[in-house]
Amino acid sequence: MAQEEWMLEQIFQLQEKSKDYRQIALFQEFAALIKEQYQRIYQAEGEIDGRMWSPKEWG
């Protein structure tokens, strides 16, 4: 998850430098989008792992 942390750090730095309300709102939504996407990746990895260990899938 180092990429997620790096991207969020970059976004927050840009957000702090920005004076424009629209840009700040865009950065906030972009950060939320990144968090959501990484949550989905984490869930998909868990689902794949669960299916691999399911006895139904062994036969």
pLDDT in tens, 5-56: 999 999 999 999 999 999 999 999 999 999 999 999 999 999 888 888 877 7
pLDDT of the residue at 34: 96
pLDDT of the residue at 53: 83
CB 17 within 8 A of CB 44: no
Prediction pTM value: 0.78
pLDDT of the residue at 20: 95
d(CA 15, CA 35): 16
Is residue 59 over pLDDT 80?
Answer: no
d(CA 36, CA 38): 6
